Structure 1
């Protein structure tokens, strides 16, 4: 079984490695939506896979690093494509939430990335 929790953050970025003339080479912003999925067995006593508050507490420091920031200034995110942001989040969250099964990052309501660590 999987559970999920949604988060959002607002950030600016630019993509330094896209061709000249590409509009994403200019600084711009997004309201990102992040869905974090956790898989496992339902605990027989508590009746849940994981406490949603525990999940919120684990992701909060990462959201704080991203929210209302220029993502390019964050170490490891100098080329902040949606794919690279997703990997960055995964690599920091996975040690804190070993049952992490996938994350989805929506850059816009119609575009995003799904990542399961592979």
Structure 2
């Protein structure tokens, strides 16, 4: 199996207002997010790629236009947890690139959430 990944960045605020009021994530706060999309294939295409990295540019455009410097509670349906953000980007990528196999999202340098069916 061949696997490739590409990392994207954005900054955004969110609030997990379904949590108890004394939970730190219930307060309005922000993160510098990292999103890593993974694509996998049994075979390479005629150019020797799983997929040309350049073809992933629409994800950068989508992130820049819809997520960067936004309030995620207004962008996503459901809680704006890293887990739900990873699932959202997975679904978006899978609809465009069938080789999509996983998406990871980081809110901090020490934490990652991953969606992999």
Give the TM-score taking structure 1 as reference length: 0.90
Q: How many residues align?
A: 114
State the Cα distance separating 1:75 from its structure 2 match: 4.2
SS in structure 1 of the partner of residue 5 of structure 2? strand
SS in structure 2 of the partner of residue 84 of structure 1? helix
Give the TM-score taking structure 2 as reference length: 0.91
- Extract unaligned runs of 5+ from structure 2: none
Superposition misfits of 4+ residues, deviation over 6 angstroms: none
Matches of 1:87 and 1:62 in 2, distance apart?
Answer: 15
Answer with 18-27 or 59-68: which moved more. Answer: 59-68
- Extract unaligned runs of 5+ from structure 1: none
State the Cα distance separating 1:108 from its structure 2 match: 0.5
State the Cα distance separating 1:70 from its structure 2 match: 0.2
Question: Is the contact between residue 6 and residue 36 of structure 2 (CA under 8 Å) also seen in structure 1?
Answer: yes
State the Cα distance separating 1:60 from its structure 2 match: 2.5
> 5 Å matches for 1:35-114?
35-40=36-41, 41-43=43-45, 45-57=46-58, 59-63=59-63, 64-76=65-77, 78-114=78-114
Q: CA RMSD, aligned part only?
A: 1.2
Matches of 2:91 and 2:55 in 1, distance apart?
Answer: 18
